[in-house]
Structure 1
């Protein structure tokens, strides 16, 4: 992958809706000329990155040794460390401890948590020689990182997600990578195949992505965590943009939200064949996905807008089955959630 345009093209092989692919490619381009925004609630920056598809195959050794990492130690610096949040992590977090080493860099999968349709995994990348991981004088704010490969996969349904990097100590030999995965098929159990290749960064001077560490990191691990989501909805309808939507089901957990609904007409894509999203396809995707408002309200009155969550569309038999959702930016215990609104229909959330 020698430049940003090739990076964008490789993203087309991922399983995103046309609207998501366009939006993600645009964000990648923007990131080349500006800093990625920080989440101010966290004591360190994070940079968004999408795992782009790669073609070269090179097997490396895998294995785990020593004591398994504690999910509480892994997740609390990233998703909150209150007593209630820690209790959630202790209940649903699962240690992994699998790793692979190539070209002096070890990639370790530390821990996973999630619900039936969403998961978040934390990895650590470390230099075996103990030297500073990022170039001297460079931090994540100046170094837009991109990891190639196929990421982690263990579900057969349509998936979408994102990932970002965290550097808790810029002077040490490691950084963390957080990967989120959302699916329209159950995913709390299975065998995950991890496949990452080449850590790259965006060079603002050359306006190209450059190789930081060459390597191929492949291994497997067992996915096994507890689903503590609550479910609601089924049969409620709302109308907008000339469409009638029927809510099929809603799932809310302390770490993620997923909404399934069906539109009464079948989306038709232009199939332009240009490799670029046609304007009409963008408008269609907005009608069926992005324009459907999803608002999560906390007990303290805080409203979290999840309307732009990723998702999938499955047209057929005169209707379009829609699914959208995402992993939350922080752990929110169910008792701290009041309601979720989909298309203006409000559903109370009960922790019981």
Structure 2
């Protein structure tokens, strides 16, 4: 295995600007370091057998080995060069090569009805299994639904909800400690929440909403869970619900679909008129591209909260007559010809069928199919 690793890593290092001697030392050191870690891997970090489920590991540890191996080989990788290489996919290739050799191939994802369903993307640690069950999204945003259950089939606790619909476990709110990233992404953001998809089973679900600058469909997702805690209503006392290390790696495959809507009305943002360039709704988010007839100046204090990026509440009305609202989401802005051009993405608090959306309203505007 070490010989194969040297060859694989040497090919990857050929893309990075190092001397032949440095590449050779690096390849040998990485193979040695990674092989040693693989031989000493803890049994409790491996998933317990479960029907139809397997495991995948994250790249974070592989990159840790890479850093140690670089030191052992006497090679210095500059941060600036590394960032550029990551953006161009070079270091991603290196990490993926190590990951695939020692942790197995990326779990594939099957797509049916626009929804991606990862195959055998699960890990068990500390008597708890976490699996990636479903993915849905559009070109800019995606949502992953994870299930969390005890490996012995017993419930995690008594599941209820508070007056706002937030899931409670034994009367306490849940907090998940995890990292999730997409290969090739330089930046991302999002949110997460718990819910119970089937009160009759022993699992609860964690929904992770994320938006990123990467090409999403077909990319690899790497998620590392570190623990789940319960917090009392005053957010003071906490207790551990699950402790361990759950590492999953799977393909971000789904059918990207966003329905374009036509906007009518007069857009006003922070008291300034503007115009809507485009509106679309996907199963997970509303995206609005708009321009405001003004340019904001940052105050001398440096405490700047750009008001042009806030469209207020976004109201979504469905074909069955029901409606719900979500707050304006993350946005970007640029100045063009004395106007501020913005793009905002607001995650929905549920998954919808875009074909069943009859209108989206915000800031004096209503958009319809």
Q: Aligning the two structures, in what range does the TM-score lie when normalised by the shorter sequence?
A: 0.5 to 0.7
In 2, Cα distance between equivalents of 1:155 and 1:259: 25
Task: Report the counterpart of residue 305 of structure 1 in structure 2.
Answer: 325
Task: Report the counterpart of residue 176 of structure 2 in structure 1.
Answer: 147
Q: Is the 8 A contact 1:238 1:245 kept in 2?
A: yes
Q: Is the 8 A contact 2:185 2:214 kept in 1?
A: yes
Q: Is the 8 A contact 1:63 1:99 kept in 2?
A: no
Q: Does 1:106 align with 2:129?
A: yes
Distance change >3 Å, CA 338–CA 174, structure 1 → 2: closer
Q: Is the 8 A contact 2:331 2:345 kept in 1?
A: no
Distance change >3 Å, CA 332–CA 102, structure 1 → 2: closer
Distance change >3 Å, CA 175–CA 303, structure 1 → 2: closer
SS at match of 2:328: coil
**What TM-score, normalized to structure 1?**
0.60
Q: Does 1:344 align with 2:343?
A: no
Q: How does 1:51-90 map to 2 (within 5 A)?
A: 60-61=45-46, 66-67=51-52, 90=112
In 2, Cα distance between equivalents of 1:193 and 1:64: 21
Q: Does 1:220 align with 2:239?
A: no
Task: Report the counterpart of residue 296 of structure 1 in structure 2.
Answer: 316
Flag structure 1 segments of 5+ consecutive residues without an equivalent.
Answer: 1-57, 70-88, 273-277
SS at match of 2:152: coil
Q: Does 1:118 align with 2:138?
A: no
Q: Is the 8 A contact 2:309 2:333 kept in 1?
A: no
SS at match of 1:112: strand
Q: Is the 8 A contact 1:120 1:327 kept in 2?
A: no
Residue among 249, 255, 268 paired with 2:298 = 268
Q: How does 1:13-32 map to 2 (within 5 A)?
A: none
What do the CA deviations read for 1:210-237 (whole angstroms, capped 9, x no partner)? 3222112222100111112123569x97
SS at match of 1:219: strand
Which structure would you say has the larger RCO, counting Cα contacts within 8 Å and 6 or more residues apart? 1
Structure 1 stretch displaced more, 196-205 or 262-271? 262-271
In 2, Cα distance between equivalents of 1:293 and 1:166: 23
Structure 1 stretch displaced more, 107-116 or 225-234? 225-234
Q: Does 1:326 align with 2:356?
A: no
Shift of 1:303: 4.0
CA RMSD in angstroms comes to 4.0
Q: Is the 8 A contact 2:158 2:169 kept in 1?
A: no
Q: Is the 8 A contact 1:310 1:326 kept in 2?
A: yes
**What TM-score, normalized to structure 2?**
0.58
What do the CA deviations read for 1:27-68 (whole angstroms, capped 9, x no partner)? xxxxxxxxxxxxxxxxxxxxxxxxxxxxxxx99447997547
Distance change >3 Å, CA 164–CA 205, structure 1 → 2: closer
Flag structure 2 segments of 5+ consecutive residues without an equivalent.
Answer: 1-41, 55-110, 162-167
In 1, Cα distance between equivalents of 2:52 and 2:260: 36
Q: Is the 8 A contact 2:221 2:251 kept in 1?
A: yes
Shift of 1:180: 1.9
Structure 1 stretch displaced more, 100-109 or 173-182? 173-182
Q: Is the 8 A contact 1:297 1:340 kept in 2?
A: yes
Q: Does 1:189 align with 2:218?
A: yes
Residue among 90, 93, 103 paired with 2:115 = 93
Task: Report the counterpart of residue 209 of structure 1 in structure 2.
Answer: 238
Distance change >3 Å, CA 160–CA 302, structure 1 → 2: same
Q: Is the 8 A contact 2:182 2:214 kept in 1?
A: no
Structure 1 stretch displaced more, 172-181 or 148-157? 148-157
Distance change >3 Å, CA 63–CA 156, structure 1 → 2: farther
In 1, Cα distance between equivalents of 2:286 and 2:206: 22
Shift of 1:251: 1.8
Distance change >3 Å, CA 215–CA 159, structure 1 → 2: same
Q: Is the 8 A contact 1:145 1:201 kept in 2?
A: yes
Shift of 1:108: 0.9
Q: Is the 8 A contact 2:145 2:207 kept in 1?
A: yes
